[in-house]
Amino acid sequence: MKISVLGFVLIGYLLFTSCEESPKNEDSKSQKPNIVFIMSDDHAYQAISAYDEKLIHTPNIDRIAKEGMLFTNATVTNSICAPSRAVILTGKHSHINGKIDNLSPFDTTNITFPQILKQSGYQTAMFGKLHFGNNPKGFDEFKILPGQGDYYNPTFNTSKGDTTVIGYVTDIITDLTLDWLKERRNPDKPFLLMYLHKAPHRSWLPAERHYKEFTQKTFPLPKTLFDTYKTRGEAAGTAEMNILKHMVLNYDNKVLPEVIEELQIDDRKLFDPLEKMNPSQKAAWDAVYDPISEDFKNNYPLMNDSTLMIWKYQRYMQDYLGTIAAVDENVGRLLNYLDDQGLSENTFVVYTSDQGFYLGEHGWFDKRFMYDESFKTPLLIKWPNVITPGTTEDEMVQNLDFAQTFLEVSGVIAPSDMQGESLVPLIQGQKEIWNRDAVYYHYYEYPAEHAVKRHYGIATKAHKLIHFYYDVDEWELYDRKKDPMEINNVYNNPAYQQVVQQMKNKLTEVRKKYKDSDELSSGYIELYKNKGWIKE
């Protein structure tokens, strides 16, 4: 084969340029987008005004949706703190990554997306609540709360040892984050920043500037506050997360122990949530909350179950939403910094929660069930010049998808054993590429706190099928279009038998796809019995 002189010239040029880093390649590296992942703990989508304005106004979180995309069908694979975080980091379901509940250790041989991004040239940092492990892999710098952490004067684990910081945790996590951005961010590298809030996790201690305001507020009652679970099986009726029966007057509602004792109320005793406050902080708290205890003491003899339920619900909302007010303010601080420093244009920003939460729906607080309030999670994403501002997306997406999304955004090929789907097609408006029609859920932590039975299931836009197992064998089916509050289980309704069969077939198909099975569940149960974590 003959090669022309021009051909030799071209070949020589290509060989020369392949041996050197060209300015063009440097430019492309510098244009890799930064990634800011903001996650709160137990933040219900109902408590973000971009989703629902009845309870609270969150202008800074809403701003992410206004400048980007709001997902209305974002869900989790396992509605409990540490497993949700493990799914996010690994891109794998709980039964694959091994972190099925809060008891089991995280298998550190798992490869996480921050490790991959670090290896591909990203500077990585994590500040806030991880909830498992004190030495997260793949981070250049981290300061994380041990376990659940404290709202006041929290201690942080770092690579150089533990440190305690005086102040309010939501403000402090933001201070640490901004300090890293200002002082130690390498401007020549793209960065992954995981900014993880403790709030609004139980026991809901707001900052002083907010509890003075929120304890004066009254909130609308959920339509299902007094749900009787009449069409459902044993699982809903035996769960221990009812506001009236299971919310603790001192720990949750902040009634003084001496008042509870004086009224001769038989109530659970949990640790003092105020124990980390210093004298000045405690004095400010007492000035506002002691009168609430006194008011309760005077009115309790006149209360029946209904009025006590409403009182506890209002106290719950006052403190829960009060903690969110600080989250929203601090998200605003971070977004403003990105704007002021000219970083926003090339930064992919996500706001989400590790799962949803019950705000009185079905009479509950907490999470764990596959019902919407805990199954669905807030998800707001902005990426200037890519996402059309103010877009709403209703496709079925999951926290399982985050790892692959971040990797594709950064131009990195995801490992083939990750189980999610990148959200980039939806973000870019290529909805026709998205072909998922059902998402899978599996909850394991039983017997345990709140007594929510083990269950798995699938959800489509139209229906939801749930199977409760282990010590029961119960099925539930919900028509998500006709019954959005999920109060009417139609599994045994003759009119839905074709749907039942279709959903069971789809469930079998999805479980096979994600490599879950009854045999695998039985194996986990035996393992836990052998370790003494659960007893028959």
Write the DSSP string, 307-327.
HHHHHHHHHHHHHHHHHHHHH
Q: Chain-wide mean pLDDT for the chain?
A: 93
What range defines the domain where residue 240 resides? Answer: 217-315
For residue 386, pLDDT over 80 is answered with: yes
pLDDT band at 536 (very low <50, low <70, confident <90, very high): low
**Residue 12: what pLDDT?**
38
Q: How many domains does the chain have?
A: 3
Please indicate, yes or no, whether residues 72 and 160 belong to a single structural domain of this protein.
yes
Residue 132's CB is within 10 A of a number of other CB atoms, namely 19
For range 212-228, the mean pLDDT: 97
Q: What percent of the chain has pLDDT over 70?
A: 94
Q: Are 353 and 41 in contact (CB under 8 A)?
A: yes
85 inside domain: yes
Please indicate, yes or no, whether residues 406 and 498 belong to a single structural domain of this protein.
no
Range scoring the smallest mean pLDDT among 8-17, 278-287, 498-507: 8-17
19 inside domain: no
Domain boundary among 259, 282, 315: 315
pLDDT band at 517 (very low <50, low <70, confident <90, very high): very high
Q: Where are the alpha helices (DSSP H) in 126-224?
A: 169-183, 208-214
Please indicate, yes or no, whether residues 165 and 86 belong to a single structural domain of this protein.
yes
Please indicate, yes or no, whether residues 410 and 453 belong to a single structural domain of this protein.
no
**Residue 135: what pLDDT?**
82
210 inside domain: no
240 inside domain: yes
Domain boundary among 295, 315, 335: 315
Range scoring the smallest mean pLDDT among 8-12, 36-40, 43-47, 261-265: 8-12
25 inside domain: no
Which CATH number goes with the domain that contains 523?
3.30.1120.10
pLDDT band at 208 (very low <50, low <70, confident <90, very high): very high
Q: Where are the alpha helices (DSSP H) in 412-496?
A: 424-427
Please indicate, yes or no, whether residues 110 and 196 belong to a single structural domain of this protein.
yes
Please indicate, yes or no, whether residues 417 and 447 belong to a single structural domain of this protein.
no
pLDDT tens by residue, 417-466: 999 999 999 999 999 999 999 999 999 999 999 999 999 999 999 999 99
**Residue 113: what pLDDT?**
98
pLDDT tens by residue, 109-130: 999 999 999 999 999 999 999 9
**Residue 30: what pLDDT?**
52
**Residue 501: what pLDDT?**
98
Which CATH number goes with the domain that contains 379?
3.40.720.10
User: To 5 degrees, how large is the angle CA 12–CA 13–CA 17?
Assistant: 120
481 inside domain: yes
Report the chain's terminal Cα–Cα distance, integer Å: 78
Please indicate, yes or no, whether residues 191 and 145 belong to a single structural domain of this protein.
yes
Please indicate, yes or no, whether residues 290 and 349 belong to a single structural domain of this protein.
no
Give every CB contact of residue 267 below 8 A, 6+ residues apart in sequence: 248, 249, 250, 260
For range 313-321, the mean pLDDT: 98
What whole-number distance in Å separates Cα of residue 477 and Cα of residue 464? 6
448 inside domain: yes
Domain boundary among 386, 414, 434: 434
342 inside domain: yes
Please indicate, yes or no, whether residues 232 and 342 belong to a single structural domain of this protein.
no
Please indicate, yes or no, whether residues 57 and 172 belong to a single structural domain of this protein.
yes
Task: Please state whether the predicted TM-score (pTM) of the whole model is above 0.85.
Answer: yes
Please indicate, yes or no, whether residues 198 and 151 belong to a single structural domain of this protein.
yes
For residue 58, pLDDT over 80 is answered with: yes
Give every CB contact of residue 380 below 8 A, 6+ residues apart in sequence: 48, 50, 61, 64, 65, 68, 69, 70, 71, 350, 351, 352
Please indicate, yes or no, whether residues 340 and 428 belong to a single structural domain of this protein.
yes
**Residue 132: what pLDDT?**
85
